[in-house]
Amino acid sequence: MSPAASARWCPTPEQLMILEEMYRTGVRTPSASQIQQITAHLSLYGKIEGKNVFYWFQNHKARDRQKLRRKLTKQLQQQQQQQQQQQQLFQQHLSPGCSFCPIYLDHHQCPASASAFRQLSCYNLPPSPPLASLSYPPQGGNIGGAESRSTMEYNSWRREIIGNDHQKADMEKSVMKMYSGGWMMVVDVDSSDRCPARPLQTLQLFPTTSTNLREDRENATVQPV
């Protein structure tokens, strides 16, 4: 136990603070080169590897979504209860007619819209270098221009790290070249990250749908009809 230090990475407070700050600023799925840069920077504050950064963002994003889902679910259940109570009142005391009354929940709070690209230039650096050239697809190729898909913005960790065995050397070099630019990165805030929850939910008096995730199933209270 005492040798081999620790089996898993244990972020230092500084590292954590920086990661959280980046997350707060919009970083969600950093590309391989971004991860490299982040890792390099964070290693000033303690032992860290690229995969730690990769996993951190993955987990943090997922658990953020989860938290929001939880909140929404709770809200939803409350409203359902309210509705049911209301309905009971209706049926007991008032005239029938409206036994179905959908309610729309709010699009949960989305951070005030951010433009697709935002610059994170923390830690006193030259203000605004040209950004376009830093956008990451580092592999030359693709003259055909026909590849400007959103896939391009996907997490390319695997694509660059796992991939292209025969180009590994070149890739390493291109990543290194990009290092020289210093600490700065292009952040892609895409909509699915800003608004993790289902966009719109219809509430019905008798719940017939759910998100059907494990959590929902477990929290599911049997509704006696």
Partner DNA sequence: GCAAATTAATGATTTATTCAAG
Partner DNA sequence: CTTGAATAAATCATTAATTTGC
Q: Applying CB under 8 A, which residues contact a copy of itself?
A: 1, 3-4, 7, 36, 39, 49-51, 54, 141-144, 146-147, 157-159, 161-166, 212, 214, 217
Among residue numbers 37 through 96, which ones bind DNA (CB under 7 A)? 51-52, 55-56, 58-63, 65-66
- Residue number, 25 or 39, with CB nearest to a copy of itself: 39
- Residue number, 51 or 107, with CB nearest to a copy of itself: 51
H/E element, 82: helix 50-93
CA–CA gap between residue 161 and residue 172 (Å, rounded): 9
Q: Which does 8 bind (CB under 5 to 8 A by kind): DNA, a copy of itself, none?
A: DNA
CB of 142: closest distance to a copy of itself in angstroms?
A: 6
Q: Which does 200 bind (CB under 5 to 8 A by kind): a copy of itself, DNA, none?
A: none
- Residue number, 6 or 124, with CB nearest to DNA: 6
Neighbouring CB atoms inside 10 A of 210's CB total 14
Are 84 and 103 a contacting pair, CB within 8 Å? no
- Residue number, 28 or 37, with CB nearest to DNA: 28
If one asks whether residue 11 binds DNA (CB under 7 A), the answer comes out as: yes
- Residue number, 152 or 205, with CB nearest to DNA: 152
**Placement of tokens 């990165």 in the chain:** 185
Q: Which does 71 bind (CB under 5 to 8 A by kind): DNA, a copy of itself, none?
A: none
Rounded to 5 degrees, what are φ and ψ at 67?
-60, -45
202-203 vs 185-188, strand pairing mode: unpaired
For residue 169, give both structure tokens: 């050397």
CA–CA gap between residue 210 and residue 167 (Å, rounded): 46
CB of 192: closest distance to DNA in angstroms?
A: 5
H/E element, 185: strand 185-188
CA–CA gap between residue 183 and residue 219 (Å, rounded): 44
If one asks whether residue 173 binds DNA (CB under 7 A), the answer comes out as: no
User: Count of residues binding DNA (CB under 7 A)?
Assistant: 36
If one asks whether residue 202 binds DNA (CB under 7 A), the answer comes out as: no
CB of 152: closest distance to a copy of itself in angstroms?
A: 12
Rounded to 5 degrees, what are φ and ψ at 199?
-60, -40
CA–CA gap between residue 27 and residue 34 (Å, rounded): 10
CB of 165: closest distance to DNA in angstroms?
A: 13
